Amino acid sequence: MGTITIRGANEELSRALKQESLVRDESVNKLVLNALCERFLHPASTRIFTDLDHLAGTWTEEDYAAFRAATADLDCIQSGDWT
């Protein structure tokens, strides 16, 4: 496997890459490799998005109950909002 060095990244780009790598919980190197592969190797129509896969099935009953309690007000229709 070859090595590629990218020079000239300004501070704004460097910060953005580091921030996104933290959000995705992956290294900057992996983030850049994935971005390059998506752009140059995989057509948009065949991309597989797995952004939230790690969350599927992780809530406990307690998590769900806490979520429902915190969002219960969203289920109520406020008639004053519609006049």
pLDDT of 83 strictly over 80: no
* Average pLDDT for 50-65: 87
Distance CA 27, CA 30 (A): 5
pLDDT of 58 strictly over 70: yes
Assigned token pair, 12 = 């704004």
Select from 32, 33, 23, 28 the least CA-distant residue to 54.
23
Q: Is 83 helix (H, G, I), strand (E, B) or coil?
A: coil
Give tens-digit pLDDT for 4-51: 898 999 999 999 999 999 999 999 999 999 899 888 887 666 666 778
Instruction: Give the residue, 63 or 55, on which the prediction is more confident.
Output: 63
Instruction: Return the amino acid letter for 65.
Output: A
**Total-model pTM:** 0.49
